[in-house]
């Protein structure tokens, strides 16, 4: 009877080792990958909120008499370009990330130009709707920064899981696990854009 149990125990141990080496690591990689995708969705959601607020801002300033049409046009076009650039979070390449950042940077630049122009319109600066948008836009810029940092943390955890031994060998057998690209700020954009409407 004992001789019969020994092979069963060995088989159970082997199955446990295989599970630990393959299935456990695979499932952990899937979980971390999905966490990173969710974090990227949160980044996009924060950018979408900014885009929606900018749309409301444009509508508010369009009502100002003789407001510069070219400045508004630049903001509208930059907003359209920024919202048209989408990324598949399961296959983010450095090139895709650079395109996304460039589009968002263009919108930030156009928005900054618009805000400088607003200084010449005291009635617009005193508009309550405009002031409410100021507060929401400032909060959204902070939210974008927080969500980008969270995304980078999730990507870092996922990438480390792929790189450590023996994960790098075991997970390398599967085609659905590749390192993800982190969000990196462009040079000179370490700080959120100045969206202070409180002109003196």
Query: CATH no. for residue 44?
Result: 1.20.1440.20
In a domain, 179, yes or no: no
Residue of 184 and 10 predicted with greater confidence = 10
Q: Of 118, 125, 120, 112, give the one whose Cα is nearest residue 75.
A: 112
Write down the pLDDT at residue 130.
79
Number of domains in the chain: 1
Quote the CA–CA distance of 35 and 29 in Å, as a whole number. 10
Q: Is the omega angle on the peptide bond into residue 96 within 30 degrees of 0, that is, cis?
A: no
In a domain, 187, yes or no: no
In a domain, 129, yes or no: yes
In a domain, 185, yes or no: no
> HSE of 34 in the Cβ direction (CA atoms, 13 Å)?
6
| CB-based contact 133:53 (threshold 8 Å) | yes
Residue of 57 and 120 predicted with greater confidence = 57
- Whether 145 has a pLDDT exceeding 70, the answer reads yes
In a domain, 47, yes or no: yes
Quote the CA–CA distance of 82 and 75 in Å, as a whole number. 10
Residue of 111 and 122 predicted with greater confidence = 111
In a domain, 160, yes or no: yes
In a domain, 193, yes or no: no
In a domain, 184, yes or no: no
Quote the CA–CA distance of 183 and 56 in Å, as a whole number. 27
């Amino acid at each position: 009877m004992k001789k019969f149990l020994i092979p069963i125990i060995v088989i159970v141990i082997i199955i446990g080792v295989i599970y630990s080496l393959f299935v456990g690591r695979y499932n952990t990689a899937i979980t971390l990958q999905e966490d990173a995708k969710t974090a990227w969705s949160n980044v996009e959601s924060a950018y979408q909120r900014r885009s929606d607020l900018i749309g409301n801002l444009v509508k508010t300033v369009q009502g100002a008499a003789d407001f510069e049409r070219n400045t508004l046009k630049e903001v509208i076009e930059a907003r359209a370009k920024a919202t048209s650039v989408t990324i598949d979070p399961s296959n983010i390449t450095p090139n895709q990330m650079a395109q996304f950042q460039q589009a968002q940077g263009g919108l930030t630049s156009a928005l900054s130009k618009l805000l400088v122009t607003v200084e010449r319109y005291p009635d617009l600066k005193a508009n309550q709707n405009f002031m409410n948008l100021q507060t929401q836009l400032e909060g959204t810029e902070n939210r974008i920064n927080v969500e980008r940092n969270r995304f980078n943390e999730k990507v870092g955890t996922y990438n480390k899981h792929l790189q450590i031994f023996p994960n790098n060998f075991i997970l390398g057998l599967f085609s659905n696990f590749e390192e993800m690209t982190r969000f990196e700020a462009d040079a000179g954009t370490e700080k959120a854009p100045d969206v202070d409407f409180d002109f003196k």
